[in-house]
Every structure is written in structure tokens, then in C-alpha cells.
Structure 1
Amino acid sequence: MKGERKLAFIIAMICYLSINVLLGYISYRRGFKNSADYYMAGKGVNSILQGLTNFAATSSSFTMMGAVGFVYGHGLSFLWLGWIWTSIYILWWVFYAPRVWFFSRQVPIQTIGDLAQDYFNFKNTQRYIIGIISVLAQIGYIVAQLMAVGLLFNVLSGISVTTGVLIALTVVVAYTFIGGLRALIWTDAFQGSLFFIVAIGTFALFTPLAVQAGFPGTLFNTPEHITFPGSLGTWTPVYAITYAFAWGMCFVGLPMFFTRAITPKSERDCRKGVGIGNALTNLTAWFLMPMVGLMLFVIYPAMDVKLDLVPATAIFKTFPWLGVIYGVSVAAASISTANSALIATSNVFYKDFYERIIKRAITPEEEVKFSRVFVLVVGGICAFAAALQPDSIVALVGISAFLAGILFWCFIAPPCFPKLAWITPIASIIAAVVGTVFASLFVLGGVSAPFGVHGAVAGWLIAIILLYVLSPLTKKVPAESQQRYHLQYITEYFQHVEDNAKEQTNKIGKSQVSL
């Protein structure tokens, strides 16, 4: 019977991966005008596709594995934190993404380095620093997703973790290489729809079993599972508050989300895409799957497996046929995030390094060729990093998120928000470098962070403190840049929003009259 289930899972995965490659080939057949078209999907994505790709890119392996396993192990304390940080980062996303979209229509922006160089008037050296931090922020995220797929292959088919990682990476690189961001948006729509439907089905199937086992009443017999610091004692007040607050303040700074702010067809599509994507993410990652985690705790209270493996193990044990479909949906959630991070990192290599180094003009065809080369380069780096088999998927995602926070507050937020005009070029660079070094030391180097906070949070907080300390002591942003962004672009942006609102109101009025 186990052999049949393994075979069914392998066949299902082959079908799923083949669909992704097919969508990549369809995108390839449409062709690309230049590197901007390859990396930005022609800046013509509608709100529905934008919402689905935001949902798929945001969800990651955490949605289908981490959210279930962590709530199973830690209890509701982790869920309370999730609701806090998502509420914070959604607010930032709603405010900053449309502004970045508008900026990208005024100046040629593709990466965080593009925006920072135009606003702060950075030289190439500072641009390289931003590029390095951007790559570090994304590589951990890609590896985390690939490790999730590798673990999945290992549990459900017996294939080694390394082999599973390489299979997933090969397919992701293949359809990204041939189809660019347009292929990723189409595959994200397919993959996001897939794991959303499976999440609903999993919740529906386990609910009657959990109720029969005494859910939710039996949870009150284990009060440590519904209060802080949680069943494992992890979420002490300082650790929990700083972790949740910092996640909310940092997550949106990932380069792949910056790219997603530029690709919509209109500012309205950008805002609606943020709303649709986050509504689906919160429903799936912060309600359906955490509830499954609590129900599994009631049904199987003493599972002796790593938290990341709780959902796949329990679901395969209870509903073997669902285990096959669930396994594919976990892969979909992981790969849909990995591909977004992969192409965003490739974009950084091309724009922040290659274009700065070469001194000659190249044809649009060469732009696309070199863009594809950097997809292969990033794929190779990820293969090497994943082969090291880091212990915790959640830790990798954590350090990526807080490096993203350094990128956001040092380089993205200052041009977007006039009240941050006090942040200076030198302060932003020093804060970013020092914060990145300390975050890496605390998380990867095993050095204990001060005051009982998470190591990556400490690195981000150090960067924020340095911004406050160094900015009054260093030279301000050039007056021309501040006037252009904070007076001209921001003013024009609000006028653009107002004009769109009036236009939409007029359309509604005309349609009502015609009816």
C-alpha cells in the first residue's frame, strides 16, 4: 500500500511540474522585447493575476507546513503573533507599493538599487552593497522553499532530501529561464489556486474528526497551548513582541515584493492586487492551516516528528489519498515563492552588478540572453546552499525577512514617505551593512543576541538605531532628489489617485444611468 501511495505521489508531482514547464513554454513563445520585459512582464499585469501572484509569492512553504507545525507545537501563542505582524505589514504594503508603482512610471526602476541610487544619488560602490544585501535576503528564502520540497519528497516518496531539492530547483530554473516573470505570474495563478483549494478541503475533512476527539474543548485541558509563552516556552514577552513587531515592519522589503509593486498595469491594479493577495494569504496562512494545526494537536497529541513534518505525516496517516494531493500543494506553495525570489535575485545580479560593470551598449536580444544567464547563476548558488541542508526552514525565512527590513527602512521607505526625509545616504549605507553583519552573526554564527530578542530582529534594530544616530551627523539627501520625490512625485501620485477615483465614480454613474 505504501508503495502505491509513493507511486501516486510521484505521478502527481510529475503532472504538476509538467504544467509549470508548459506555462513557461507558452510565455517563451510570446517572446521578450528586452530585459525589462523579461523581468517585469511588460508592466501590464491585471488585478486578478496580480492578486494571485501576490498570494502565491507571499504564502511559501510556511503556509502549508510551518503554520500547521508551529501551531501544533507552540500553540495559539504563535497564531496571535501571526495576526499582529500580518496586520502591520499589510498596512505598509498598501501604502508603499502604489507609490513604488508610480515612481517606476517616472524613472526606469527595476530593483531596490535603482530606486536608492536615483534618490540618494549613490555611486556604484553603494549600489553593489545594496545588491549584496538583496541577494542575501533572497537566497535564504529560496533555499528555505527548496528544503521544504526536499523534505516533502523524502517523507512521501523516500527520495533523499538533496535529490528532491535538485528536482524542484531544476524545474523552477527551467520555466523561469525560458518564460521570465510572465511565466511565473501564470504559474503562480495556477499554484496559488491549487493550494488554496487543498487548504479548504483539508480544513473541511479534519473538522469532524477533531470535533469527535473533543475539539475545541480539550484545548482548555492544556492551558499552556493557548497562552504565552506557548507549549515550548519560546514566546517570552520580549521575544514575542519584538519578533511580531519586527516581522510586520520588515517583510514587505523583500526584493520580490518590490518587483511585484512595479508589474501591475495601473495603480488601481496594484492596490487591488495587494488587497486580493493578502486577503487570500490571511485566510489560508492565518486561519485555515493554523486551525488544522490545532485540530491535529487534539487528534494526534504526541507526534514524534519535526514540526515542519507534522502536517504531511498526519495527513498521509489519516487520508492517504489527500496526502498525495496535499504533498503537491505544499510543493506548489513552496515553489511559487521560490520562483519569485529566484527571478528577483537574477534581476539584482543583472541590474545592480552586470549593468554597472559593463561599459558598452548591448542589444535587446543580448539583454534577454544575459538575463537568462543570471537565472542559471542564481540557480547554481541555491543548489550549493541547499546541499548544505540547513536545519530550520523557519530560521532561514526569518533572517531573510529581517534583511528585507533593513532594505525597506534604509532604501525603500525614505523616498516613499516625506517624513523620512531626515535619513541620509551615509547613514543608510552604514546602518544596512552593520545590521546585516550582526543579523548574520546572531543567526548563522550562533552568537547570542542581547536582551533575549531573536537574532535577526537584533540586527534589524541595530540598523534602525544607527539610522537615528548617524543621520543628524551626516550630509543630507541632495535637495533636488528630495524635491523631485517628496514634492513632485508624491504630489502627482495623490493627484493621480484622486483623478482615478473620479473617473471610476463617473463610470459607475454612467452605467447606472444606462441601466
Structure 2
Amino acid sequence: MLNWALLIVSATILIGLSLYSMRVAGDQDESGFLVANNSLGPFVAAATLIATGYSGFVFIGSPGVVYEYGSLELFSNAFYTPAFLIATLFFANYLRRKARTLGSRTMPEYIAQTHSSGMAGRWLQGVVAVIIILLLSVFLVSQIKAIGLLVSGWLGISPTMGALLITLLVIGYTMFGGLRAVAWTDAVMVLGMVFASCAIAYVVFIEIGMGELIARLDVINPELANPSSGAPYGDSPASALLLLPYAFLWAAALPFMSVRFLAIKQNVSMARVGIWVAILGLLLNFTPLAGLYAKAYFPDLASPDMAMPTFLAEGVSPLMSSVITLFILFAMKSTANSLMHTVSTALSYDLRAALGLHEGFTTTMTFNRLMVLIVGICGFVGMAYMPPVMILWLGILGNGTLMASLFGVTLCSTFWQGNSAGAFASIATGFSVSAFLLLGTDLGWVQGPLYGCLASAACYVGVSLVTRRALNPAVSSL
């Protein structure tokens, strides 16, 4: 009953914030739904960025990786904070200013406007939107699965029923308030996430002690406490360093992350946003410790992704377990609402713009909200029929491949401007290389997307240069 009460109270608060944000934004302009009327202050901007980045994969996936492969994940996970900080300080301001100059409301629109103002731009916006819909839907499915695993034990219901319940809640507060509601609810949820992370650290460092924990792990397998390989990221422990560029590209290139930069107020200093990013991110780096606890005391779990639920059931008191579970649920919901918003925006705004539809029902807020509903339901159905895979790997498949697809047209275009031909080539190459390496080889999880980024950048520059030279003689002859 306590858990149900906590869920109902938190759901009421989130829905209330959503309805209030809808009233503030108004229905006259899609800008409120798409980019929160460019109104986010420093704390809310940092909170929504961190809450979205430190999602179910950190609270459920990372402890599962620690349980399966050992303590290297503790080192790897620490790179997310500096990576997000670098993206905020050295990329966000450029993106925010250029998008405001162009009038871009979404990342597909920004990519299209920076490469072509004609039919090629519309095609580019449509292609990017389709890839976002495909790959972020994969990531959304992984989030919904993580939610189901967590809520089932918390509320005493089946994983499927738990996933359905929370999916409907996330649909509810996302569809009414758009990005403003997503950001405001994230700001509330990240505070709970910080509390949960610190509570995990207290149990491991104070109540148990790292000495006892390491001794137990050594009895099971000395590799757990002191890994000699970099699994699952590569052969060498140094492979963990790849998480720094990977996480930076995640924050800068993935649309559901970078769209938050577009929503920040014009007069807000990015340094102030960066300070909050650093504080919140550092406090959230304790979560993988739950995986060490589960491995030390319960080494025969049926699935690595049960590490965090096991810690909550056995490592803390029932009251603390209830509260921490609610806050971990916040982490999952913060990413799920961002994914629903980004995918539904690609459907309701970017595909519509690519098709040249500027009037009618498709331009209304009702249509935007309907797309959120459809995306959420499709994500739940996909989760129900998904084969058994690790949540973190599924998230990397969706996020990493999307990151590789968009690397050339987002990050490379910041330093060197290509054309639409180079943009199409880089998207196709990054997508193909990353997907093949993740699905068809035994390469480390982050190496595939990073190689895809390199291939995307090479094609972006190479094809742009070749097509420019091919067009110059034709222009001269005219």
C-alpha cells in the first residue's frame, strides 16, 4: 500500500506540472510543445539533460553490467559526467545560437536547414526523422522493459502490467505539456535520483564496507573486483576510456539530448548550466555499486538485469527500498518521456514538414499529442514481444547507431560545412557501419558506434568535396 501511495502522489504531481506547463505554453504555437518556448533556465536545463542521460540504463543496466562483467563499469560510468559537461560548455552554445538564427525547432529541421533550403533539405529532414523514429523506438523499448522489471517487484504485479501502468502515466504528462512538461518533471525527478544514488553509496561504503565486499567478490571470482579485460567494451581495460568520447557524442549528437540545448533561454550562461551538470552528474555515479552488492551476496541470479531489484529487496529496509525504487522509476520515466517526445515530434512535425504539409489537422496540438499516444503504445507492444537481451546492449544498439548516423551532419558540420549529398552519404554510412558491427561482430559495445562515427565523418567530408568539384565545372559552363 505504501508503494501504491507513493506512485499515486508522484503521478499526481507530475500530471499537475504537465497541465500547468501546457497552460503556460498555450496552444497557439507549436514552439511550446517542441522546444518549451526557449524558456529553460540553468538548473532546469541541466536537470533535464542529466535526468535524461542517467536513465534506466544507469540504474538498471549498469548494475547489470557490473554483475555480469565486474567492477570496470564503475570506472566507465564515471565518464558520463565530464562528457556531458564538455558537450554543454563547448557545443551547446553554438548549437543554440545557430538554431535560433535559422529558426530551427527540432534537430532534423536544424540538420536540413544547415545543408539545403530546397527539396534536398526536405528530403534530408524526412530521412533523419525516419531514422530517429526507427532507432529511438528501439531505445524506448529498452526503457519500458527496465520499467516493467522494476515495477513488478515494487507493486507486486507482473512486469507487463507494471510496464503498461507506467507507460500510460508517461504518455499522460508528456502529451499535454510537450518539452516544457518533460523538462519541469525532469527537474523534480533528478532530485530523487540523486537521493537514490547517495543511498546506494551509503549502504555499500558505510553499512557494508568495500573491504568486505571485495573479499566476497574475490571468493567468487578475482576478476570481478580487479578485471583484466575491458569486457563488454573491448579486450583491454583501457577500452573503458572510449566511454568519454562516446558519452560526449551521445549528448551532442542524439536528438533527444541535444534538443534541450535549443530550449535554453537566450540570456542564460552555459557556464551556469555546466556547474549544475557537474554537480548532479557526479552525485549520480554511485548507482553501479548495487551490482557489486548483488554479485557478492547473490551470485546466481537468473538475469544480470535483476541486480538492482535484488539490491533493493535485500540490501536496504522496506521503507528505503520503496523510496529508492520510486526515484529509480523517476530516472526511467525521465528518459521514456524524452524519447516519446522526440519520436512523436519526428512523426508529427518533421515528417509533415518533409511532405510539405503546412495546414490542416496535422498542424494542430491535438495531432502532436495523438502522436505521443501512438508512440507510447507502440513502445509497450514492442517490449511485450521483445526477445531476451540485456537492457544496456539494446540501448547502445539504438543510441549508438543513431549517434553514428548523425555524427557527420551535427558534430562535423560544426567545424566544416558539407552539402546535402555529403549529408545523405554520411547518414547511410554511419547507420550501416554501426549496425553491422553491433549485430554482426563481437567488437566491444562502444567501439562499433565510434567506428560508425569515423566512417560517417569520412563520408561527410569526402562526398561533399567530390560533389562540389563535380558541380563547379557545370556551373562555370553555364
Is the Cα contact below 8 Å between 1:148 and 1:393 reproduced in 2? yes
**CA–CA distance in 1 between the matches of 2:467 and 2:434?**
24
Offset at 1:442? 4.5
Letter aligned with residue 186 of structure 1: W
CA distance in 2, matches of 1:17, 1:360: 35
Letter in 2 for 1:71: V
2:45 to 47, 50, 53: 50
Match of 1:110 in 2: 105
SS of equivalent to 2:364:
helix
- 1:80 maps to 75
CA distance in 2: counterparts of 1:76 and 1:205, whole angstroms: 17
Q: Distance in 1 between matches of 2:471 and 2:164?
A: 47
Shift of 1:458: 4.7
2:243 corresponds to 1:244 = yes
For 1:382, the aligned partner's letter is G
CA contact (8 A) 1:210 1:295 kept: no
Aligned to 1:70: 65
Matched residue SS, 1:208? helix
Map of 1:475 onto structure 2: 468
1:368-387 equivalences under 5 Å are 368-387=365-384
Measure, in 1, the Cα distance between the counterparts of 2:166 and 2:121. Answer: 38
Which residue is equivalent to 2:261? 261
Q: Percent identity?
A: 19
Return the alpha-carbon distance in structure 1 between the equivalents of residues 471 and 332 of structure 2: 42
Separation in 1 of the partners of 2:255 and 2:200?
A: 32
Distance 1:348 1:297 in 2: 41
Once the two structures are superposed, residues 258-292 of structure 1 have per-residue CA deviations (whole angstroms, 9 ceiling, x without a partner) of 210011113534443244134312331x3x22334
- Asked if structure 1 preserves the Cα contact closer than 8 Å seen for 2:405 and 2:426, the reply is no
Q: Structure 2 CA distance, aligned partners of 1:22 and 1:450? A: 46
Q: Which amino acid aligns with 2:338?
A: S
Matching residue of 1:273: 273
CA distance in 2, matches of 1:262, 1:440: 28
Unaligned runs of 5+ in 1: 1-6, 480-515
Distance 1:381 1:438, change over 3 A: farther
| Maintained 8 Å contact 2:82/2:244 | no
Distance 1:128 1:45 in 2: 28
Distance in 1 (CA, whole Å) between partners of 2:352 and 2:23 is 26
Secondary structure of the 2:91 match is helix
- Call closer, same or farther: CA 1:323–1:139 in 2, change over 3 Å: same
Alignment partners' CA distance in 1, 2:354 and 2:445 = 41
Give the aligned partner of residue 483 of structure 1. none
CA contact (8 A) 1:155 1:313 kept: no
| 2:239 maps to amino acid | A
Task: Tell me what 1:95 maps to.
Answer: 90
Provide closer, same or farther for how the CA distance between residues 186 and 402 of structure 1 changes in structure 2, counting only shifts above 3 A.
same
| Alignment match, 2:9 | 15
In the TM superposition, residue 114 of structure 1 has moved relative to its aligned partner by 1.5
Change (3 A) 1:18 1:475: same
Correspondence list, 1:71-470, <5 A: 71-84=66-79, 86-88=81-83, 90-121=85-116, 122-211=120-209, 214-215=212-213, 223-230=222-229, 235-237=234-236, 240=239, 244=243, 247-252=246-251, 253-266=253-266, 268-284=268-284, 286=285, 288-298=286-296, 300=297, 302-318=299-315, 319-361=317-359, 366-390=363-387, 391-417=389-415, 420-421=416-417, 423-443=418-438, 446-448=439-441, 454-467=447-460, 469-470=462-463
- The answer as to whether partners of 2:232 and 2:444 remain within 8 angstroms in 1 is no
- Seen in structure 2, the aligned counterparts of structure 1 residues 232 and 126 have a Cα distance that, compared at 3 Å, is closer
Q: CA deviation at 1:11?
A: 3.1
**CA gap 1:366/1:432 in 2 versus in 1, 3 angstroms:** closer
| Cα contact 2:214–2:225 (8 A) shared by 1 | no
Q: Name the SS of the counterpart of 2:314 in structure 1.
A: helix
Asked if the contact 2:62/2:288 (under 8 Å) is kept, the reply is yes
Letter in 2 for 1:145: Q
Cα distance in 1, alignment partners of residues 91 and 269 from structure 2: 14
**CA distance in structure 1 between the aligned counterparts of 2:175 and 2:115, rounded to whole angstroms:** 33
Q: What's the secondary structure of 1:289's corresponding residue?
A: coil
Alpha-carbon spacing, 1:171–1:212, altered in 2? closer, same or farther (3 Å) = closer
Aligned 8 A contact 2:430 2:453 in 1:
yes
| Paired residues of 2:197 and 2:283 also in contact (CA < 8 A) | no
Deviations 1:20-62 (A, max 9, x none): 1222122233333311122211111111111211121111112
Report the AA paired with residue 475 of structure 1.
R
Q: How many residues align?
A: 464
Contact 2:7 2:326 (8 Å CA) reproduced: yes
- Asked if the contact 2:84/2:277 (under 8 Å) is kept, the reply is no
Distance across 1 between alignment mates of 2:43 and 2:471? 39
Contact 1:72 1:293 in 2 (8 A): yes
CA distance in 2, matches of 1:52, 1:232: 31
Query: CA deviation digits over 1:277-321, x for unaligned, max 9?
Result: 34312331x3x22334334544x1524242221121122123222
Q: Please provide the CA RMSD for this pair.
A: 3.2
Displacement of 1:115 in angstroms is 1.6
Q: Given residue 182 of structure 1, which amino acid in structure 2 is its aligned partner?
A: R
**Relative to 1, partners in 2 of residues 1:26 and 1:210: Cα closer, same or farther, differing over 3 Å?**
same
Q: 1:164 to 1:130 in 2, by over 3 A?
A: same
Q: 1:455 to 1:232 in 2, by over 3 A?
A: closer
CA distance in 1, matches of 2:189, 2:333: 8
How far 1:245 sits from its partner (Å)?
Answer: 5.6
C-alpha distance 401-465 of structure 1, shift in aligned 2 (>3 A): same
The answer (yes or no) to whether the contact 1:246–1:402 under 8 Å persists in 2 is no
Q: Deviations over 1:82-123 (max 9, x none)?
A: 334653454234211111111122121112222222221133
